[in-house]
A = this chain, B = another copy of it.
Amino acid sequence: MSFSPLLQQLINALRCLPGVGPKSAQRMALHLLERERDNARQLAGALLQAVEQIGECQQCRTLSETPVCDICSDSERDAGLVCVLESPVDLLAIEQSGGFQGVYFVLKGHLSPIDGIGPEDLGIPQLLDRIEQGGIRELILATNPTVEGEATAHYITGQIAREDIRITRIAHGVPVGGELEFVDGGTLAHALAGRRVINRDVS
């Protein structure tokens, strides 16, 4: 059976959502048109507004609709403790674990020479500048515990000249080969508490 062109267009468009295969896209499209037309209209508006108005924070590169995000501009957060992440989803996972009071730097990816993704694409020069300016006591490298995440953490460690910064890596609790965003809050809180120094002990 072929759907009408507009219905097929909607089904195809829904496939851009993560975890949505052809069958669920069909069900979603029919469900929206049968019972949720007002909500479908609202979803369209929310998508457009978000795409047009949400950019990235100048300081930490996470998604933000203001030049500096709420976390970076919160004076109660510890700006001397910076957690480096691969993506805003990981930031969300750590925030939801509730145990972290520092700030973040979001790489939006990991080093991947094969795909042409180098340090500049991840904002690493920007992170190093911020470190050079001083004021950072500890850098927690919370890239994913995958080969690429480890390589990225290793690269960043090698670029840091200052000796007065403690560089740590979250360690316990996150399953090897796993992705931070799928780890529960308790495990993440544990992983953060059990972080270890990977350059030297400046205590």
Interface residues of A (CB under 8 A from B): 1-2, 4-7, 9-10, 12-14, 16-19, 24, 26-34, 36-37, 39-51, 53-54, 63-66, 69-70, 87-89, 92, 95-96, 108, 181
Question: Across the interface, which residues of B come within 8 angstroms of A44, CB to CB?
Answer: 43-45, 47-48, 51
Contact A39–B16 (Cβ < 8 Å): yes
- Copy total for this chain: 2
List the 9 closest pairs (A to B, CB-CB), nearest first.
A1-B95, A16-B39, A13-B46, A44-B47, A13-B43, A44-B44, A10-B50, A10-B46, A18-B31
Distance of A4 from chain B, by nearest CB (Å) = 5
Contact B88–A6 (Cβ < 8 Å): no
With A27-B181, A65-B6 as known contacts, state yes or no: A40 contacts B50, CB within 8 Å.
Answer: yes
Question: Across the interface, which residues of B come within 8 angstroms of A28, CB to CB?
Answer: 17-19
Contact A34–B63 (Cβ < 8 Å): yes
Distance of A23 from chain B, by nearest CB (Å) = 10
Contact B70–A30 (Cβ < 8 Å): no
Distance of A182 from chain B, by nearest CB (Å) = 10
Contact B30–A41 (Cβ < 8 Å): no
Distance of A106 from chain B, by nearest CB (Å) = 10
In the complex, given contacts A4-B64, A17-B32, A19-B27, what are 20 additional A-B residue pairs having Cβ atoms less than 8 angstroms apart?
A4-B65, A4-B70, A5-B65, A7-B50, A7-B65, A9-B50, A10-B46, A14-B17, A14-B46, A16-B36, A16-B39, A17-B17, A17-B31, A29-B50, A31-B89, A32-B47, A34-B63, A34-B88, A40-B51, A44-B44
| Bound-complex Cα distance A40 to B50 (A) | 9
> In the complex, which of the residues B7, B36, B47, B87 contacts A54, with contact meaning CB atoms closer than 8 Å?
B7
Contact B47–A40 (Cβ < 8 Å): yes
10 contacts across the A-B interface (CB closer than 8 A): A1-B95, A4-B64, A9-B46, A9-B50, A10-B47, A14-B17, A16-B36, A17-B43, A27-B181, A33-B63
